[in-house]
Amino acid sequence: MVHLRTGEERPVAIPDVCPNCGKAIDKSQERWRCVQGRKCYALASIAYAAGRDQLDIEGLAKSRIQQMLDTGLIADLGDLFSLVHEQIIGLDRMGDSSTTKLLAAIEAAKSQPLSRVFRALGVRGTGRSMPRDTAPRRSAS
């Protein structure tokens, strides 16, 4: 690829802070990471996991996820599955009906095929077809 160089290349500036949240970068290991770890990208990863092609949790928008993170109800994807009615109904703009629907959507996500769970977790190197090919198929008994 050296032949593609024009001579106008510039060195890549290595950031001093996390480009996502602005916090410090942990440089103690070979791969540098935000000091906040998973908390830095919790909103994006949970929103992705809840998406239609993954766990399909209807009613779990980014704004609702952010509200749950801010109030400490959840810290990661796994926390969604232990939420109860009393916790969710206390959030802004969550009535009895919307709380019941959200909890039903979370419960339905528990029965998604393993291939969708792999996709929801964002397992590196897996696209749409690899998790389906990797996950064992359920046999009809």
Average pLDDT, stretch 35-62? 93
CB-based contacts of 56: which residues, under 8 Å, 6+ apart? 50, 105, 108, 109, 112, 116
- Assess whether pLDDT exceeds 80 at residue 36: yes
**pLDDT tens profile 101-115:** 999 999 999 999 988
81: its two tokens: 């599955």
Maximum alpha-carbon separation in the chain: 65
Say what the pTM is: 0.75
Find tokens 């770890």 and name the residue: 37
Kindly report the CA angle at 2 between 32 and 29, in degrees rounded to 5? 10
**Helical pair 114-121 and 42-49, crossing angle rounded to 10 deg:** 160
CATH architecture of 42-124: Orthogonal Bundle (1.10)
